[in-house]
Amino acid sequence: MSNYTIIITALFLVVFTIPTTTYAKKQTTEQLQAEREAVLKQCTKNARDSTYRDCECYADAYLEEREKQPEIKYISVAKGNISDKCLDFENIAAFEEKKCLMRHNNPSTGNVLTDEEKSICACTGDFIKNNISKLERVNYKTIQSTILASIPKCSCLVKTPDRNCDKVRGR
């Protein structure tokens, strides 16, 4: 191969390869940022998501996951990998306690909750907060299971405090 051919080949590679590579990286970064924004928008518009987690944190975790694993092609796969990230156990417990209070709210009694109902709902919130944080992997299914387990357990604890309620199971 002549020196002329080597120089032309090298020049060709420098001129056409480097700008394309730089542009491809920039485009990928822009695409990932757009995906992050879509995840953030989805989270903030979803009542459960925005109550259960910090959406900014979740969008950042999504971006980090996509950067770490660029071969992931679907948003749902990356979101599945981070489903236990950025959850707010305090918010989840408070939200579920409020839902419990609303369930027990009875217009026929003048919307006055009994002390027992208030105690059951407070127990429900505490039970959820304490037990969700102990789970190895947290997702909506495990959260719902914990919520369902809290209802009979808390009813037992409040209504029969002297009884061992450890064997009471959720529905």
Helix axes 140-159, 89-104, angle to 10 degrees: 50
Residue 87 pairs with which residues in a beta bridge?
53
d(CA 171, CA 165): 15
Amino acid code (one letter) for 15:
V
Task: Sketch the domain layout of the chain as residue ranges.
Answer: 3-81, 89-159
| pLDDT (mean) for 140-166 | 84
52-97: per-residue pLDDT in tens? 999 999 999 999 999 998 888 888 898 888 988 899 989 999 999 9
100-136: per-residue pLDDT in tens? 888 877 666 666 788 888 898 999 999 998 888 888 7
Give 52-58's long-range contacts (Cβ < 8 A, gap of 24+).
52/87, 52/88, 52/91, 52/92, 52/95, 52/140, 52/143, 53/85, 53/86, 53/87, 53/88, 54/86, 54/88, 55/86, 57/85, 57/86, 58/82, 58/85, 58/86
Q: What is the pTM of this model?
A: 0.69
> What per-residue confidence (pLDDT) applies to 35?
92
19-50: per-residue pLDDT in tens? 333 333 444 788 889 999 999 999 999 998 99
